[in-house]
Chain A
């Protein structure tokens, strides 16, 4: 299965200094970190970057993170990070980071999970797997695109639903542990996927699935079971 966009060899080749400009809490366990990155080549929704922290003795730790923000031309980008117990990099972000701090980023990386805004997009995510999908939703909205886009997103509870206030009619949230009165609680199921597949947009859906491996396995099987072609399912798994 080919990538969606050609990837610039130059863009990925060097590290850029990224200055933290804003921290926004999203949920009790997740926050968004906004950076100014002069010289950032720009990205497409769905792409990720490599982020590096350096200690005073030269020790470094680097992690891959999906980009949460829509592409803009002003060299800004956002990542949304879960607070991982004992997380070496996410721990620094949640405990120590403040605006003005500088880290390094490299990218954007990989064209496989990118969505240029061309094909109808069926987005399926769970937990912080919604992050690269949100970049697509924001891009769709910012550009006023007509191409169909749907987001099916699963969270443990409404409090844990990242970007809850930003979702619109394109989004169906599902809750696996607790939900407001009258809203069902349960795992993503065929009944959630079927109505979306039934929409049959011209050219068919390009499906983007993001989450833990267990979720990705489950969701991709639901999509295949509902008739989505295997070669039109792109998966990004945490790890």
Chain B
């Protein structure tokens, strides 16, 4: 599309453009390379001069140390558990609610939908204390349930999926299914769900990344170290006296690996999903 404009750039300034972009990429990926390298060095190597810009030989040592300062695999399992349940729950319940708003006309529908959209504007900071109190009243403090469950029917997900339904499912299709004698539940499950798979995938991506990286909710909800999730466990070893930075950096790097791997394969879907609101807005 930008062919003619390209020619303007091509001649004199193309290498400048490339240099700028490559500089941007270098600044972006340097911390990732650096954390991977630090994971293979001992504490004294990391802070030696000149900085060790090569792969070190202390990987196993750091790994042993990492298991010493935190139950790494338990914590990783906790993160996985919370993220998977929260994602599955959101895909199920958000699509269910979205179907409710999409397929039916009922009294109060517009008001509820309006409140729902407005609630997306409420900054999470405001709900932090009330959220904590509810969790406390319900007696689910210090449980993983309190991390994944409250978000399974969230306004963003419902809105996202309803908008997708509006563009991809016709009234005629629903009516045809009804004439064939399908119950509402059956229409939702066998007719609608298969048709909105792309939106479900988008929601799943957004939810999983959000839950995996979540820090604030675990920080105020979880107190026992064996229930920590990755973000919380990593933060808790930051201030250890004489902290073993090689081990901490190894843990930090390992905690990022799952999402980075997923990004290598699904970068298009993940970028589209995470900017869904903005780009279509």
Verify that A and B bind, or say they do not. no
| Chain A interfacial positions (CB closer than 8 Å to B) | none
| Chain B interfacial positions (CB closer than 8 Å to A) | none
